Each structure stands twice: as C-alpha cells, then as structure tokens.
Amino acid sequence: MDKLVYLSMSGARQTLIEQSTNNHNLANVNTTGFKAQMDAFQAVPVYGPGHPDRAYTQTNHVGASHVQGNIIRTGNPLDIAIDGDGFIAVQDVDGNEAYTRAGDLKITAEGLLQTSNGNLVLGNGGPISLSPYDEISIGKDGTITIRPLGQGQAELAVIDRIKLVNPETETLKRNERGLFVSDEGIEEADGSVQIESGAIESSNVNSVQALVTMIELSRQFETQIKMMGIAEENDAAASKLLQAS
C-alpha cells in the first residue's frame, strides 16, 4: 500500500505546484508582453537499497512560451511592440542588462525612458534620457526622434536608438522580477529586430485554455486524494485479515 500512497501523495503535491503556475499565468492574462510559464510532469524513480520499484511525480519548469501575443493599437507614441522575434533591452534593479517584450513605455520626471514596471530602457550608451519635447516618434528600428520644446516642425533631433536584441530563446531564463536574462551574458544589438510604434503586445496566455487547465488539475488533485483514501481503506482491510488469521 505504501507504493500507492507515495505515488498519490507526490502526484497531489506536484499538481498543486502546477496549479500555482497555471494560476500565475491566468493572473497575467492582461499583462503587457507577458510570456506564459510552461511546466511538465515527470515520473522519477526512488533510488535506494534494492530495485527502484517506487516512483514519484516531479514538476519541472521547462521555460516560457515565446509565442507572440496579439498586437494592440493604442496610438500612444511611447508604446512599442516587437514585430516578430526579439526583445527590448532594459536595466534591471541590480544594474544588469535584462530583456522584455513589454513596450508600454513612459518618461520619468527626470526625462528617463522606462517601462511601466520602472525598468530603464537601454540605448546605444546606456539608459535613454530625453530632453523636453513637443513631439516624439519611435522608428521601426528603435530610433527615437523628437521635436524639441518650442521648435518648429522642421527642427527634429535624433536622441538615441532603443537597444533591440534577438537572442536564442533557449538561452533565456526568467528572473523573479519577470525579466529575461541570457545565459550568454549581454546580447549584441540586432538591427533585424523591428518594432511597431503606437502599439503594445498583449500577453500570450490563452485565458480559456488556462481555465480549462485549472479545472483539469483540480480533478486530478481530487483523484489523487481519493486514491490515498483507497490505500488507507485497503490497508485497514488487510490488517483485519491478518488479525483474523
């Protein structure tokens, strides 16, 4: 009976972990540029003295789904969306370079360009700083052009170029702040990455599928709890038989 109890117990525990991941994805269905976390179940033998005839279930984080979300037009000149593959380079809170698809940008009181989460957007020489302007536009290659405050329509100034990178997604890992970092270190700017200005990329989480998965995992958990109850009943029945003999 211990085999059945062990397998059911470990399965129930890992199902709760997977439910937590699914709920996290569902909670971010409206988060700009969010990439769904993917997990996978794996049966792992329990090694010890003798043959490993027991197994438990383990949930492994296998990375994020990098399928592109829907492009939503906003008309805001500070909103950008990656068109195809690629990432926006930003400065993490620890000062290191990280990458995101969240292009809902804003400007601080000090004139620094940052994401909605407060990460500074990186340009050719570090964080991008803007002087006061009347108009701003961001080109497909990330070039930022402004019409300085009080200047005429023809008086345009190129400020900087947003650093756009295109690393292999297999080398990326998501940190605890939701940003991606590369195993290869700092990525080089990639001129082939294109953006759409006045638009943002939605989360790639399928809310319907996430809700269906939530129900499926709940049923799996209930089944595993029932199996533990059955194992207890079988153990009690076996004990009675032994006492009777």
The residues spanned by each domain of the chain are 2-66+205-244, 71-201
Cβ proximity of 84 and 194 under 8 Å:
yes
> Does residue 88 or residue 3 have the better pLDDT?
88
Residue 224, both tokens: 């595993």
Which band of pLDDT confidence, cut at 50, 70 and 90, is reported for residue 245?
Answer: low
Q: Give rounded-to-5 percent helix, strand, coil for the chain.
A: 25, 35, 40
Q: For residue 213, give the H/E element and its range.
A: helix 207-244
- At 113-149, the pLDDT tens digits run 999 999 999 999 899 999 999 999 999 999 999 999 8
**Residue 43 in this model has a pLDDT that exceeds 60:** yes
CA–CA distance, 193 with 163 (Å, rounded to integer):
10
